[in-house]
Amino acid sequence: MPLDPIPDWVPTRRREIGGRIRTARLDAQLSQVQLGERIGRDHKTVHRYEVATSVPTLVDLLLIAHVLDVPLADLVR
């Protein structure tokens, strides 16, 4: 059963995860376009993940972690 309204901490956590994706992407010296190509998503989707306007699926998080060579736990901690 979904929570309505979403607790205040959820958007904060989404922004934190997006920021970690962005940091890991920049550390890997990849553009949003390059990361998107490697995970099979549009660069606009990568941007939405990074700014937390869209929620990555678990599969996308696994692909992002693999491409960026970081543990999944580091992205979602």
Specify the pLDDT at position 2: 63
Could you read off the pLDDT of 19-76 as tens digits, one per residue? Answer: 999 999 999 999 999 999 999 999 999 999 999 999 999 999 999 999 999 999 999 9
The residues spanned by each domain of the chain are 9-76
Q: What is the largest CA-CA distance in the chain?
A: 40
63 CB contacts (<8 Å, ≥6 apart)? Answer: 38, 39, 40
Determine whether domain 9-76 maps to CATH 1.20.140.10. Answer: no
